[in-house]
Amino acid sequence: MKRIDFLKNVALLSAGSALLPRMKFFQDSPFTKLRNGTGIFSMRGGTIGWFVSDDVTLAIDSQYPDTAADFIGGIDSFGGGSETVLINTHHHGDHTGGNGAFRESGYRIIAHERVPVLQRQSADDADSVVAAEETFSEQHELDLGNEMVHIKYYGRAHTSGDSVTWFREANVAHMGDLMFNRLYPFIDRGSGASIQNWITVLETVVDEAESDTQFIFGHGNPEFGVTGTADDLLRKRDFLTKLLEHTQAGIDAGRSREEITSAESFEEFPDFISPSNFLSLPRNLDVAYQELTEGNG
């Protein structure tokens, strides 16, 4: 994908996030407490996860400059210590656009090693990108005293740089855009996405989770929200499996790309919605078609 096309697509993705109806989990504040010092912040863009203790204030993803400033200005009301950390789950602008505000506030930024590379590749001005100065290849741990944070890369999925952040004591995991909950996802083939491995990633995460692990999702259908359980991950797994099976069946039957990608919905997944033409089943099917006919690259 050409850089200008990527930028247009990310703009559409962000617009899709902004155009979703005001979600029920907003309530009176964009901040929602979960458990054991963790919570979420839902405004515009990918869901920010957070953790506070007497020593540490930690955020996962940064949304946009304005909403990042809202988060930074409001998180103090939940406590939090002087050590400040930001984790980027992946490189898309609705998850990293606020990095500058966090850095100006003294947060150190951590991400998988591919994230800064992909940020700069997709930027108009690579020198202006605010990216993680601390990176890892497979996993990274933060000992926060009463909480152990484990950041893990499971391989190519939504992009080639997605990671899951686990709060071991709280038993909470932030999935970033590995989870579009009951939304047709963005599958960023130009950044190394793999639908087949995405299926494996979701299954692996479920296997590693405990029975009552609470998951935070990057985006969600307003009816279902941006937190959930392993069942939601398996629902997404089943959708991605159907995506490949439908596409392969069409290829085997000699149908054209246009015929295969014309489906507007799957009857097995009536709860999946499309907030924009960019986040739609035909777009997903087109990426599946490319993956099955051209490989993962």
Map out the domains of the chain with their CATH numbers.
Answer: 3-294 (3.60.15.10)
Angle, in degrees to the nearest 10, between helices 230-252 and 281-294: 60
Residue where the block lists tokens 């950390």: 85
Which residues make Cβ contacts (< 8 Å) with residue 147, sequence separation at least 6?
Answer: 36, 37, 51, 53, 56, 167, 168, 169, 170
**Least confident segment among 58-62, 135-139, 239-243, 292-296:** 292-296
Q: What is the pLDDT of residues 99-119, one digit of tens each?
A: 999 999 999 999 999 999 999
Percent of the chain with pLDDT over 90: 86
Q: How far apart are the C-alpha atoms of 246 and 132, rounded to whole Å?
A: 39
Instruction: Calculate the CA 189 to chain-centre distance.
Output: 15
Indicate if the pLDDT at residue 27 is higher than 60: no
pLDDT digits (tens, 9 = 90+) for 134-152: 999 999 999 999 999 999 9
CA atoms within 13 A on the CB side of 25: 23
Best CA proximity match to 144, nearest among 40, 50, 71 = 50
How do beta strands 56-60 and 83-88 pair? parallel
Query: Residue 110: which of 138, 154, 80, 140 has the closest Cα?
Result: 140
**What pLDDT sits at residue 73?**
96
